[in-house]
């Protein structure tokens, strides 16, 4: 959420057209829902086996999920200010 707010604030209010506040709130809720969904998928995969737990909790799998979350947030931030 902080990354989304920081990226959106880089554009400033002058670059946002129309009902920007409501639209940005909607995209912020979408970021929150996507983050919860990614974490639920990760937890479900970790519960499947001990090897999956080790890989996704401390291995490079955890880093991939962090990267996926950050990329998703960056993409949704870009979409939010471009629409």
Instruction: Give the per-residue pLDDT at 82.
Output: 79
Does 13 have pLDDT greater than 70? no
Torsion, Cα of 1, 3, 35, 39 (10° steps): -110
Residue 15: per-residue pLDDT: 61
Q: Express the helix, strand and coil content of the chain in percent, nearest 5 each.
A: 85, 0, 15
Q: What is the pLDDT of residue 63?
A: 92
């Amino acid at each position: 959420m902080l990354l989304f707010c920081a990226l959106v604030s880089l554009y400033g209010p002058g670059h946002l057209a129309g009902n920007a506040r409501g639209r940005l709130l909607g995209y912020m809720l979408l970021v929150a829902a996507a983050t919860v969904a990614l974490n639920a998928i990760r937890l479900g995969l970790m519960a499947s086996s001990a090897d999956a737990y080790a890989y996704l909790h401390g291995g490079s799998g955890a880093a991939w999920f962090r990267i996926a979350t950050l990329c998703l947030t960056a993409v949704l931030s870009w979409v939010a200010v471009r629409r």
